[in-house]
Structure 1
């Protein structure tokens, strides 16, 4: 299929406006806003109604077992091995056939995300930076999204950490809602990522007051307290 035919098919599937916006962001200009959030490692996770799951076991990611990502995350095998080699703490969840269906990472030192955002994320003493959480589609909406984080928090607490920090894209509404469900607090700062012509990236940080998550909260959902402020 030629490039023109692919473009026509994409326009037919998603419409001219959405296709143009996608191409503009990919090849001309994009702006991502990454909200910084934090949470202590001991406050209980609020109740949830996520679907249960079964048949999985958690394994620490190493350079030797990264091949388990081949089925569901084939393009990440090298990246997973690389992160493990660098000494970051990674957990993956294996199904009964030994295939990784979910993973999550934590770093106790300043983290350079050269695989996606391209910028540095500073980590203070006592904190760890949580990143890379993802799961295969069959597990969307299950309590695995909660368990994976809680398991990582326990592992990082054993390394002397007392707080988790991470960033979340403002356009990723499901991820923002997950942070609310997990009891995260906003730090009031944003890392901005700008991309130009698919070649250059620029970064800056801004501050804000109030909450950018409140519009996403369900009526009557309690705000979990206990996390230390930035």
Structure 2
């Protein structure tokens, strides 16, 4: 399909305004806000109504078993092996066929994200930086999104960590809601990632007060009370 045909199809489906905004962000200038979040490793996850999933095995990711990502995450095999060689803690959940259907990583030291954002994420003593969590599409909306995290927390707790920190894209509403359901709190910090002409990137940390997630929280219902007679 030619470039012009792709553009015309996108305009037809999304409209001219949306197409121009996407082109500007991709080819000229973009600004990504990454909200810093944190959570302790022992407070239970709040109740949820996520769907159950079939039994899976949890394996540490190693350079030797990274081939298990081939079916569902074929473009990540080399990256998974590389992260394992660099000494980060990685878990994959595999099905009865030995295929990885979910994965997540933890770094107990400063993490350089050379595979995606390109910046450093500093990690304080006692913390670990959680990154790269992803599920295969058939497992979206299941309890695996919670279990994937809590199993990693147990492993990092055994390594002497007492807090998990991570960042979440401000425009990724489903991920932000998952953080709320999981009991994360905001740190009031933002890692700003700027990209110019699809080539140069710049980074800046900023601060904010209050909460940027309150609008996403479900309102708490007041308990019903009987009227006085």
Query: TM bucket by the smaller chain?
Result: over 0.9
SS class of match (2:44)? coil
> Equivalent residue for 2:202?
202
1:12 shift after superposition: 2.4
Residue 28 of structure 2 corresponds to residue 28 of structure 1: yes
> Equivalent residue for 1:97?
97
> Equivalent residue for 1:59?
59
SS class of match (2:218)? coil
Quick one: distance in 1 between partners of 2:75 and 2:19? 24
SS class of match (1:50)? coil
Aligned runs of 1:118-157 on 2, under 5 Å? 118-157=118-157
Quick one: distance in 1 between partners of 2:21 and 2:57? 41
SS class of match (2:141)? coil
Quick one: distance in 1 between partners of 2:130 and 2:87? 14
Number of residues paired by the alignment?
221
Deviations 1:107-144 (A, max 9, x none): 00000001001000000000000000111111111110
1:13 shift after superposition: 2.7
For structure 1, the 5+ residue unaligned runs are 222-230
For structure 2, the 5+ residue unaligned runs are 222-229
Aligned residues: CA RMSD: 1.1
Quick one: distance in 2 between partners of 1:73 and 1:124? 31
Quick one: distance in 1 between partners of 2:20 and 2:75? 26
TM-score w.r.t. structure 2 length? Answer: 0.94
Following superposition, which runs of at least 4 residues in structure 1 exceed 6 angstroms of deviation?
Answer: none
TM-score w.r.t. structure 1 length? Answer: 0.93
